[in-house]
Structure 1
Amino acid sequence: MPLFCKQCKGRRVPIFQEKENISLWLCEKCKNFVDEKDFIVREQTDQERQEAERKLKEFEETSNFPSEKLVRRKGVN
């Protein structure tokens, strides 16, 4: 399975489909779902796009990653 789309040379991302219980690969540019045999299954619907955006926004709001400080260790050669 190539990581890049044949049509637009865009990057593909695996998305798990709960209803079908399989992972489909979504092209970031042309928004097509592709199966493991590299066949286009279907396009991403508007409802799926909105759901993904909602989950991303929720994750950004709830995640709290503290910024790491660079601390120099003292006494180490």
Structure 2
Amino acid sequence: MGLLKTIFFILIFYYAFKFLARLFAPFLMKKAAETIQKKAEQQFRGQHTQQSSTVKDGETIIDKKPGSQQETKKTVGEYVDFEEID
């Protein structure tokens, strides 16, 4: 009798959980989507204000020095092209 009671309670809890999950899932998904949207908006605003405060319209900005690219090529090493032999 104890085994049947246990199985019965397990089934009742399982179906109750399924019912409550279907009931509350749309609400939880909506909240998660709103949270993600707010974070994305904050990141966009942060990047937009950072760019607009440092760069004026029509201004050109160069991130690297002209000679720095040649120096890195020397330190990286020599490129070797391998060919396959049949």
Common fold: TM-score over 0.5: no
Question: What TM-score results when the alignment is normalised by the length of structure 2?
Answer: 0.32
Answer 1 or 2: higher relative contact order, Cα 8 Å, separation at least 6: 1
Higher helix share: 2
Higher strand share: 1
Question: What TM-score results when the alignment is normalised by the length of structure 1?
Answer: 0.35
